[in-house]
Amino acid sequence: MGIDFTRSERSTIGLEWELALVDRETGDLMSIATEVLDALRADDGSAHPHITGELLLNTVELVSGVHHTVSDAVTDISGQLAEVRAAADSFGVDPICSGSHPFGQWFDQRVTNKERYHRLIDRTQWWGRNMMIWGIHVHVGIEDVTKVIPILNGMLCYLPHLQALSASSPFWAGVDTGYASNRALMFQQLPTAGAPWDLADWTAWEEYVADMTRTGIIDDVTEVRWDIRPAPRWGTIEVRVCDGVSTAQELGAIAAFIQCLVEWMSTRIDEGEEIPTMQPWFVRENKWRAARYGLDAEIILDAAGNERLVTDDVRELIDILSPTATRLGCLTELQNLGVILDSGASYQRQRAVAEANNGDLIAVVGALRQELQSGLATQVEPSQL
């Protein structure tokens, strides 16, 4: 089964940002995506070209255009956020973003009326209905199909960094799960989600998709929901492991990190280097550690099993990637990873708000709403990190 990979301009970037819709007073999830999307239609009745629905009617997704710089992509998608906020305002609803809603219940949510979503729910049942999760997806352009799998395999070494930096789902259905990212473990319950299989090259990817299609596991390549996957239609690698982030600043920082990692590896391939990888069991262990402990995770760095605190490795990577970031025009955004490390990731900020309000999770939703509106994270006391 041959899969054509669209030729894409190298290291261009595109962003997808999933937003939850919540009642302004109660903080509850509201299943009004259809109404919001209708309000965003053009005068001729056509749908918005970049703002779409998702599996559940409590969600809208923003999709940027293709950009050369992270700042342009964030500006693009922030403009769409303003459109959603204006459209939702008349319903007394505001958008928020985090990996999970602090107290939403799955049985209160409505599924979008599309055949592909109904098939997913019919197959996955309780697990599918529990997909009250939100994330960001980052696409980076790859100019040569032979680079796709080596870069994808290399990126698996950085899954825990991305998971920890974006972790924003400590609460689930009103309970503190003890995890920084409960979303990570929920999402991988879907049959084709989770960490990618170990593939040698593009041919192996084609064979995998052929096997999955022939046996009826998927209908098309978009139903491979890996944490990082090839996106042949767009000519990109798509990084999907991250929880939803509640500020434009965090979105830019994580997008810059991903863009720089991909370009850094692409350059090393050009220079004849082999991109380091690690054993699949280390990849899966790292994902669990980052989901459980967030920025306190001690992660496995390489095939030899060396370990290090994830925050220490992120700080070193900022230095290593700074020349690449300068070339790509995203140095400021890359350096904002340090703001996340110093101010706290979203899971830490949410827990701090809950603690300050005697466990009131409505207050957590209020803080998420304010962060998305301001574009900046609230400061957490060092003692709460």
Domains and CATH numbers, the chain: 13-374 (3.30.590.20)
- Calculate mean pLDDT across residues 94-108: 97
pLDDT at 255: 98
N residues, the chain:
385
**For 325-345, how does the pLDDT look when each residue is reduced to its tens digit (9 = 90+)?**
999 999 999 999 999 999 999
- Calculate mean pLDDT across residues 284-302: 98
Q: Which of 188-192, 258-262, 271-275 has the lowest mean pLDDT?
A: 188-192
How far from 218 is each of 146, 175, 221, 308, 344, CA to CA, in Å?
24, 34, 7, 38, 39
Residues 6+ apart with CB under 8 A from 208: 197, 199
pLDDT at 376: 80
Residue 377: pLDDT band (50, 70, 90) is confident
Determine contact, residues 67/6, Cβ cutoff 8 Å: no
pLDDT at 385: 63
- Calculate mean pLDDT across residues 365-377: 93
Residue 384: pLDDT band (50, 70, 90) is low
**For 121-141, how does the pLDDT look when each residue is reduced to its tens digit (9 = 90+)?**
998 999 988 999 999 999 999
Closest CA to 183 of 369, 346, 352, 376: 346
Q: What percent of the chain has pLDDT over 90?
A: 92
Report the C-alpha gap between 83 and 85 in whole angstroms: 5
**For 33-45, how does the pLDDT look when each residue is reduced to its tens digit (9 = 90+)?**
999 999 999 999 9
Average pLDDT, the chain: 96
Residues 6+ apart with CB under 8 A from 223: 192
Tell me the DSSP string of 330-379: -HHHHHTHHHHHHH--HHHHHHHHHHHTTT-HHHHHHHHHHHHHHSSPPP
pLDDT at 133: 97
Q: What backbone phi and psi angles, to 5 degrees, belong to 87?
A: -70, -35
